[in-house]
Structure 1
C-alpha cells in the first residue's frame, strides 16, 4: 500500500487503485504491455510509424519561406499571419523535431538520426544536441520523477513568483536558451564546442539575415525584435507543458524508486488533444505523454495509435492512468505554486517496490 503520496493530477491525495505490483509481477506487466504494443507497431505501415511525422516536419520547413514573405506586407493581417507561420514552424522544428530526433524516432538509421538531431537541436533550437540528449533521454526518462535527477527540476526557478514564472518568464526562453548553451560548451572539448557554436550561430544568423533580406526589415533592432517574437510565440505552453505533466505528481528517491511501469503510471500525466500543440509539440508531449515515457522510441503518431491499448491495459490491471485538462493544471499551479515549484516536494514511498 502507499504510505504517503504527493498528489493526483487535480491536487488531491493520490491512492492507487490497487497495491503496486511487486518485483517480478511488475516486470510481467511491463512485458505483457510491451508485447501488445509491439503487435500494433508490427501491424502498422511505415507511414504510420514514421512517415506522417516526417511529413509534418517537411511541411513546416516548406512553409517557412511563406512566413518570411508575409512579413514584407504592410497589411497588419498578412503580417500577423507571417508571424504565426514562423512561430508555429519554429516550435514544430525545435520541439517536435528535436524531441523525435533525440529519441531516434524519425529514422532507423543512427547516422541520419544524428544529422537530424544536429539540425533540429543545434541549428534550429540553438542548444547542444549532446546535452539535450543527456538531460532528456538519460536523466529525465531514466529517472522520471526521481528527485534531483529526472524530476523536471530544470524548469523550476524558485526565485520567481508565480505570476512572473507563468506569464512573463517564458518570453525570455529564446534569449536564455543560447546563453545556457554557451555555459554548457565551456565543459566540452574544443573541437565539439566549435562545431556546436558554428551550427548555433548559423541558425541564429540565418534567421536574422532572412528577416533583413527577404522580409525587408530596415533596422537590426526591428529584425531582432521579430526574432524574439516568433521564437517566443508558443513559449508559454512550452514551459507549462513541461511542468504540468510531472510536477505535482508523486516524486521518488533514488534508493526507493518503484519499478518502471508503476513509476510511469504514477509520475506522468496526459493532457487532452490540443490541435495547435499537437502539431507543434507532437502527441508524445501532449495527449500521449504516458505512452511516450513507456515507449520513448515510438513516433508521435505511433504513440497516438497505441494509446487505446495502453489506457485499456492500465484500466484492466487497475493501474493509475493520469489525465487532466490544460486549464485545470494551469489553475492548480497558480493556486499551489509555492508547494510545487518553490518548496521541496514530499517523497512518495511505495511499500513492496524497493
Structure 2
C-alpha cells in the first residue's frame, strides 16, 4: 500500500484492495452465521431471557425486604432491587432495542415498548433511533455516533464521572419527553402513559407493600435503587468509544475497519457481565460487528472474531476498567470537553 500525502498519511487503495476489505467482512459474517445456525434456541436467546426472568423474580422479595425494620434486611432489599433494576433496564432494554429477545417482529416491538418505556422510562422510538440508527450506523463518526449524548463539558471531571450519573434516573424521562417533538401523537401519548405506569407502579408498591409512610421516603428509595449502577453505566458508555479513532461523515472507513478501530472491549467482570450483558462489556467489538446477536451469542462467537481479526492483522482493542478510568480522569479536557480530532485512517477509497 502506498502512502498518500494529500490525505495526511492515510491509505490510497486500489479497487482490488477495496474489494478485499469487503470480502473480509463477508468472510467473517459467514463464519459467525454458521455458528449461529448451529446453536440452539437456548444459546441464541434462552440464556439471556432466563437471566431477565430471574431479575423479575427477584423484584417481589426485594419489596418484602424493604418492608423490614431491620437495617440488614432493608439494605439487602435495596441491593436486590437495584441489581434487578439494572438487569432489566440495561440488559433488557439493550437486547429489546436490537430485537434480540424474540424472532417475532410483533413480539420484538412489544418487548421494546415494555423494556424501554415501562421499565427504562425512555421512549422506544427515540431510543431505537438514537442507538440503532445513529450510534450503530455511525459509530465514532463525530457528531452522529460518537456518544455525544453522554457528554457534559460544563461539568468538572470529578462531578461528571462520579456524581452526575446519580441523576440519570431523573434525567432519563425528561430527555425522552424533550425528544418526542415531531413524533406521531400516538407514540407521544403511549410513551407518556407507559413511563408513568412504570414509575407509579414502583411507587405504589413501595407504599402499599413495603410500607413506606411518606411519599418522599418512597421516592428517595426509588432514586437509590435506580441510580445504583448509574456510575458504571455512564463509564461503560464512554470508555468503549471515546478516546479511540474518530471519523468524519465524508471520510469514514469500511465497516470492518470502523468497528475494529473505534470499539473496545472491557475485560470479564462478574457483576457487570450479568447486569449489563456481555455485549456491553467484554464483547462490545463483537456486538458492533454483529448487533443482531444476543449477549450469550456474542460471547460464543468471541473466539472466532478475535482469531479472525488477528489473522487479518486488524486491531482487537481491549483495556481494563480502571485503566480507562485513569485515562479519562487525566485527559478529561481533551476527550470530553474539546471536540475529538478526526482520524485519517484510510484516506480516499
State the TM-score bracket (shorter-chain normalisation). over 0.9
* Aligned match of 1:258: 253
Q: Give 1:88's match in structure 2, choosing from 83, 89, 98.
A: 83
Q: Distance in 2 between matches of 1:3 and 1:83?
A: 59
Between the aligned partners of 2:115 and 2:83, the Cα distance in structure 1 is: 14
What whole-Å deviation, never above 9, does each CA across 1:150-180 have from its counterpart, x for those lacking one? 0111111111110000010000000000111
The residue aligned with 1:149 is 144
SS at match of 1:108: coil
Note if 1:327 corresponds to 2:325. no
Identify the residue that residue 294 of structure 2 maps to in structure 1.
299
2:274 counterpart of 1:279: yes
Q: Which residue of 1 aligns with 2:119?
A: 124
Q: Which runs of 5+ in 1 are unaligned?
A: 5-14
**1:3-52, Cα deviation, whole Å (9 max, x unpaired):** 99xxxxxxxxxx99xxxx94211111001101111111111111000000
Q: Which residue of 1 aligns with 2:36?
A: 41
Equivalent in the alignment of 1:50:
45
Distance 2:199 2:107 in 1: 23
**2:73 matched to which residue of 1?**
78
CA contact (8 A) 1:3 1:350 kept: no
- For residues 1-354 of structure 1, the aligned pairs below 5 Å read 22-352=17-347, 354=349
Query: Alignment partner of 1:144: what SS?
Result: coil
What TM-score results when the alignment is normalised by the length of structure 1?
Answer: 0.93
Highest RCO, 1 vs 2 (Cα 8 Å, sep ≥ 6): 1
Deviations 1:39-79 (A, max 9, x none): 11111111000000000111111110011111011221211
Q: Could you list the per-position Cα deviations for residues 280-300 of structure 1 after superposition, in whole angstroms to 9, with x for gaps in the alignment?
A: 110000000000000000000
Query: Residue 9 of structure 1 aligns with which residue?
Result: none
2:192 aligned counterpart, secondary structure: helix
Is the CA contact (8 Å cut-off) linking 1:257 and 1:353 kept in structure 2?
no
Structure 2 CA distance, aligned partners of 1:351 and 1:285? 27
Q: How many residues align?
A: 340
What are the superposed Cα offsets for residues 286-331 of structure 1, whole Å, 9 maximum, x if unpaired? 0000000000000000000000000011111110000000000001
CA distance in 1, matches of 2:239, 2:88: 22
CA RMSD of aligned residues (A): 1.7
Could you say what secondary structure the match of 1:256 adopts?
coil
Give the deviation of 1:351 after TM superposition.
3.5
State whether residues 71 and 79 of structure 1, in contact with CA within 8 Å, keep that contact through their aligned partners in structure 2.
Answer: yes
**Residue by residue, what CA displacement relative to the aligned partner does 1:102-126 show, whole Å, maximum 9, x if unpaired?**
1011110000010000000000011
* Separation in 1, partners of 2:339, 2:179: 26
Q: How many angstroms does 1:353 deviate by?
A: 5.3
